[in-house]
Structures are given as structure tokens and as C-alpha cells.
């Protein structure tokens, strides 16, 4: 609309070419620089004009959305979009010069707003153009919100970002990546004071650095495809594009140094270093993970005025009770944890059973079970201590009868064939279950396929069940599997064994997902379900070996082996 009206009025002279409102501040676009069209102004114009072309990359990243043949459709769309963009830039530049629109600090409004206001006035036409511009900007912002989480999921799957960014949320989106880019955008807006003048130079540098990396990657891709002339031509074409985008990025940094463009370079270097650190940590964890009841005691914390010893004697059938502390004491939790730690046996696992009444909601859980929550949080930090959370409906004063459940189904939640799975399977067999199977929720089809292949390759005796989750929800998938066993807490009990990695340094803990915590929270209000958090530590780094020497006789594979029949574990 603006180009058509401007072409008629300024090009053909129909009605006269108007003057922009900010024209009094100077004389044309050159007034933005005291030295006129200097080299610096020309370089800045080159960089600023290149920003308009960055939206074309959205076509290249959405080739899969086109109908067959996708390449032809994307090429035609790219050509049309490029032609319209070029026409718009050239036309807007000519109209800005004709209406004497101002740029830089001398102008009170953007150049596009000055030209539009001069040609269409302050009425409906200006409002329509502003609404259309806002819609375009919303779509442009959606590009980052849609593409960054997808890109982050690919990098996370390869170990360059925290693994939780590779999983989809309940709403089919990559929630972790979406929250990350939203938080980063909010911080950037606050730091820049929502100033377009301050943000555009940062955007230019970031975009052209990304384009340079993309073109450099295409050079490597086409060069490795083969020595044929076609691949070589495409590699040289990508190399020329990388040189151009690198030159623009360098110019953007140099010409905008006073506007803080160096921040992008520093942030990018820090991000690359952090991703490299995440990658090293991920490989180290993967390498070390694939490296190769005797007594019962009751500990009590009675409430004020409660005759716990007498009620325990009627219920336990002679098992002695040791009172560690009063529940009202300030350090009652610390004393309980110390008592459990003192009863651990070297080389053996210790199971702590925490009975509690089934809460109606999280508010009820926080109100009546604060001691239990604090105790579970501290016990999960102890090595070789499995925490069994046993919930049951509230009972009366008694008498009680102890019944052995007719069915006891045990599910071991696994995400891979590693040391944690081996420990969990060995422990689960010691529970004497009616049925035992490993369970994995199929959030990522590729990961599920790899898990099934590894499970079959190892020849593990415990069957593995991969359940589909339509909404890619880990908690919902486990909850449905548990409910299929119809636990009632009396005749049928389901126990979920959840391997949980402990002992990580504080900086590495955010890099790992909290799947065990998610499942425990989902099963907390399920009747007849026992959750056992089984901690295991990361094995030490493997010792270096001389690959030229044959392995010693009797040496076994360092990776996970079948834990064997029930009772073989420690």
C-alpha cells in the first residue's frame, strides 16, 4: 500500500510528494551523519539492510512443510520472498529519500513510520500499516519460539545441552527449550530497557554469526559428500556465502561496538565453552555408567502425648522399637538420618520403609507430612539406602491384622542399559515379586528403539515393556501402567523401583533430568503403590588399558550383565 501510494505521488507526481514530519531535523537520510555518506555510514547501511534478509532463513528451515517436491516448492517460495523483500527495501529507501525522512538520533520516529505517516496521513491507512507490521513482527518472534526449542532438543540429544531439553512436555512442545528462550528474551529486554535501537545491533550480530556457522557447516557437508563436480560447486557456493555473512557479522561488531555488540561475541564464546563442558560431562557419565534383607530394625519418632511403644507392640508381633527422638525436637530428622546411617552394613543395600497416611492433596501433604518430606529428602543422599514410600488410607485405633498380599507386582523404571539399571534389577529380584518387569515410557521413538536393541543384545532375563505416551508425559505413562495392575493396597500391591543417580557435583545436577522425582510425585496419591528410590553413585573413571594387549582370561565385559535369578544380589 505504501509503495503504491508513494509511487503515484512521488514517482508520477500526482498530488505532490509530501515531506516527513521529522524532515525539519535535517536534510535527508545523510543528516544522520555529520560527514554525509561516509564509509562508516555506508557500512552501517549494508549491515542494517542485511537484517531484512534474515527472515528468509525461515523458508530454509521449514522445507519439510512443503508438498512434494519439497525442494522445488521451497526454491520458488524463496525466490518470491527474496524478490518482494528486495522491492520493499529499494522502494522504501527511495521514498525515504523523497520525503526527506530522518534516521538516527535526530529522528523521533522510525523511517518506515515517517514515510507511512507522510504518504497515508494519521488516519486509517497508518493504523492498517502499523497493525500489519505488528503481525509480521509477531510471526518473526514466533520463529525463535518455535525453532530454538527444536534445535535445543537436537543438541541435547547429542549431549551438548542438558538432557531434559530433548524431551517434549505434556503439550507436545519442548517445554524446557521454550522456557529457556522465554527467560533469555525477558532478561535481554529488561537489560536493554526494551529499546529497539539497543537491541537491533545485537540481533544483527547474532543472526549473521549463526548464518556464518550454518554456511560453514554446509561447506563441510558438501565437501564430504564426494569428489564430484556438483558437490564441489555447492561447497564453493556455501563457502562464498560463509565469507559474505562473516564479513557482515564483522562489520556489525566493528560499527556497533559503541552500542554493545561485543556482548554478543562474549556471550557466544561463553555459550560454546559451556556446551563443550556439558558434552564432556555427558560423555564421562555415559562411559562410567557402562563400566562394570539380613536384619530388620524399627526406628520411631513419637508425637507429643502419643503412646507409640504400646501401639507398636500390638501391631509388630514382637519387633523391638527404638525411639530416636521426639517429633517436636528441632533436630529430629537429623537424628533419624544418623541412626539409619549407623545401621548400614558394608557392601549391602539398606531399605528404609516410611509408612504414611495417604494425603488428599499436595496442600494436605505439606500440612501433615512435613517431617516425612524432610526425612525422605535427606535419606536419598545416603549411598546404598533405598527409600520406600508406603502410603495407606488413614486407619482407626485398631485392632489391626497383617495380611500378605496375594499379588505383588514390581516395576523397574529404566531409561537405558547402564549400571543404575543393573542395581535396580538386582534389588527388585530380592523383593520376591509375583511378577517383575522393566518399564520404559516411549517419549522418544528413536531412544526406545535403541533401548530395546540394547536390551535384547544383552540377553537380560527380565522382560522389558515400552509403553507409549500419547502426550509424551513420563508420569502419565507410568501411572497408566501401574493402574493396569489394579492395586488396592490389600490384596494387590505394586512396587515401583526408581534408580536415582546421586553424588553429582552441584554444578552438574541441573544437567540431569528429575525423572525419579516426577514419577514419585505422580504416584504419591495412588493407593496400593509403593515407590522405592534406589540411589546409585557414578562409577569411577575407567582405568586406561593398553589396547594392544589381549584381555586376561576370564575377564568380563565391563558393561551391564544380567543380574541373574532372584536372591543373587547383595
pLDDT in tens, 55-74: 676 676 667 677 888 788 88
What's the domain count of the chain? 2
- Nearest CA to 357 out of 347, 367, 342, 345 is that of 367
Count, residues in the chain: 570
Determine how many CB atoms are found less than 10 A away from the CB of residue 72. Answer: 11
- 487 lies in a domain? yes
Please name every residue paired with 536 in a beta bridge, in sequence order, or none if there are none: 501
* Residue at 254 is within a domain: no
Classify residue 105: in a domain, yes or no: yes
Res 319: pLDDT = 75
Q: CB burial class (10 A; 0-12, 13-18, 19+) of residue 421?
A: buried
Give pLDDT tens digits for 424-469: 888 888 888 889 999 998 877 888 888 888 888 888 888 999 988 7
Beta bridge partners of residue 350, listed in sequence order: 385
Q: 250 Cβ partners below 8 Å, 6+ apart?
A: none
Domain containing 513 equals 330-395+404-537
- Give the CATH number for residue 440: 3.40.50.620
* Contact indicator for 440, 415 with CB cutoff of 8 Å: yes
pLDDT for res 555: 33
Judge whether 389 lies within some domain.
yes
Cell numbers describing residue 408: 505383588
Which pLDDT belongs to residue 567? 38
Exposure of 265 in the CB half-sphere (CA atoms within 13 A): 14
User: Is residue 568 very low, low, confident or very high in pLDDT (cuts 50, 70, 90)?
Assistant: very low
Count Cβ atoms below 10 Å from residue 142 Cβ, excluding itself. Answer: 11
Check the CA dihedral 373-374-375-381 and report its sign.
positive
pLDDT (mean) for 132-146: 78
Helix (H) or strand (E) holding 409: strand 407-413
Q: Quick check: is 488 in a domain? A: yes
State pLDDT tens for residues 235-254.
Answer: 888 899 888 888 888 887 87
The overall pTM is greater than 0.85 = no
Query: What would the grid cell of residue 92 be?
Result: 522504501
Q: Where among 98, 122, 146 does a domain terminate?
A: 122
Locate 335 and state its grid cell: 537424628
Confirm whether 66 is domain-assigned.
yes
Q: Assess if residue 474 is contained within a domain.
A: yes
- Residue 178 C-beta-side C-alpha neighbours within 13 Å: 11
558 belongs to a structural domain: no
Question: Of 81, 106, 122, which residue sits at a domain end?
Answer: 122
Amino acid at each position: 500500500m505504501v509503495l503504491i501510494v508513494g509511487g503515484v505521488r512521488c514517482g508520477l507526481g500526482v498530488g505532490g510528494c509530501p515531506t516527513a514530519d521529522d524532515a525539519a531535523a535535517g536534510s535527508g537520510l545523510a543528516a544522520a551523519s555529520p560527514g554525509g555518506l561516509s564509509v562508516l555510514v555506508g557500512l552501517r547501511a549494508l549491515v542494517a539492510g542485511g537484517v531484512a534478509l534474515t527472515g528468509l532463513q525461515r523458508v530454509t528451515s521449514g522445507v519439510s512443510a512443503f508438498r512434494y517436491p519439497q525442494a522445488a516448492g521451497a526454491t520458488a517460495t524463496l525466490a518470491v520472498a527474496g524478490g518482494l523483500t528486495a522491492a520493499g527495501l529499494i522502494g522504501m529507501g527511495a521514498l525515504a529519500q523523497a520525503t526527506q525522512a530522518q534516521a538516527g538520533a535526530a529522528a523521533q520516529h522510525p523511517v518506515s513510520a515517517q514515510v507511512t505517516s507522510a504518504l497515508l496521513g494519521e488516519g486509517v491507512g497508518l493504523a492498517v500499516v502499523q497493525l500489519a507490521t505488528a503481525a509480521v513482527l509477531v510471526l518473526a518472534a514466533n520463529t525463535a519460539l518455535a525453532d530454538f526449542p527444536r534445535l535445543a532438543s537436537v543438541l541435547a540429544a547429542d549431549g551438548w545441552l542438558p538432557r531434559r531439553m530433548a524431551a517434549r512436555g505434556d503439550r507436545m512442545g519442548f517445554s524446557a527449550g521454550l522456557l529457556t528462550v522465554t527467560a533469555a528474551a525477558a532478561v535481554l529486554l529488561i537489560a536493554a530497557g526494551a529499546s529497539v535501537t539497543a537491541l537491533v545491533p545485537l540481533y544483527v550480530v547474532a543472526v549473521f554469526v549463526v548464518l556464518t556457522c550454518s554456511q560453514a557447516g554446509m561447506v563441510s557437508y558438501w565437501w564430504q559428500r564426494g569428489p564430484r563436480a556438483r558437490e564441489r560447486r555447492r561447497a564453493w557456493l556455501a563457502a562464498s556465502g560463509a565469507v559474505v555473512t562473516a564479513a557482515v557479522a564483522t562489520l556489525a561488531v566493528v560499527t556497533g561496538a559503541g552500542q554493545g555488540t561485543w556482548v554478543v561475541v562474549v556471550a557466544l564464546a561463553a555459550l560454546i565453552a559451556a556446551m563443550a563442558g556439558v558434552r564432556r560431562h555427558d560423555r564421562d557419565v555415559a562411559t562410567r555408567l557402562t563400566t562394570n534383607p539380613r536384619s530388620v530394625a524399627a526406628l520411631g519418632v513419637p508425637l507429643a502425648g502419643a503412646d507409640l511403644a504400646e501401639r507398636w507392640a500390638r501391631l509388630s508381633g514382637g519387633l523391638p522399637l527404638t525411639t530416636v527422638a521426639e517429633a517436636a525436637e528441632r533436630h529430629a530428622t537429623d537424628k533419624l538420618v544418623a541412626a539409619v546411617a549407623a545401621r548400614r552394613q558394608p557392601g549391602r543395600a539398606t531399605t528404609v520403609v516410611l509408612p504414611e497416611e495417604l494425603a488428599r492433596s499436595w496442600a494436605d501433604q505439606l500440612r501433615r507430612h512435613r517431617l516425612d518430606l524432610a526425612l525422605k529428602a535427606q535419606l536419598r543422599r545416603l549411598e546404598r539406602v533405598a527409600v520406600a514410600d508406603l502410603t495407606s488410607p488413614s486407619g482407626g485405633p485398631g485392632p489391626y491384622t497383617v495380611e500378605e498380599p496375594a499379588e505383588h507386582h514390581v516395576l523397574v523404571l529404566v531409561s537405558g542399559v547402564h549400571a543404575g539399571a543393573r542395581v535396580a534389577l538386582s534389588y527388585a529380584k530380592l523383593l520376591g515379586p509375583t511378577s517383575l518387569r522393566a518399564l520404559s515410557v516411549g517419549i522418544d521413538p528413536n531412544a526406545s528403539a535403541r533401548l530395546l536393541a540394547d536390551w535384547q543384545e544383552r540377553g537380560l532375563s527380565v522382560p522389558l515393556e515400552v509403553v507409549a505416551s500419547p502426550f509424551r508425559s513420563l508420569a502419565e505413562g507410568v501411572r497408566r501402567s501401574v493402574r493396569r495392575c489394579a492395586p488396592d493396597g490389600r490384596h494387590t500391591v505394586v512396587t515401583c523401583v526408581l534408580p536415582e543417580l546421586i553424588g553429582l557435583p552441584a554444578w552438574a545436577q541441573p544437567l540431569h533430568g528429575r525423572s525419579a522425582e516426577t514419577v514419585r510425585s505422580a504416584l504419591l496419591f495412588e493407593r496400593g503403590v509403593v515407590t522405592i528410590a534406589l540411589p546409585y553413585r557414578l562409577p569411577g573413571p575407567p582405568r586406561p588399558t593398553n589396547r594392544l594387549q589381549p584381555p586376561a582370561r576370564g575377564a568380563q565385559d565391563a558393561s551391564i550383565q544380567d543380574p541373574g535369578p532372584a536372591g543373587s544380589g547383595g
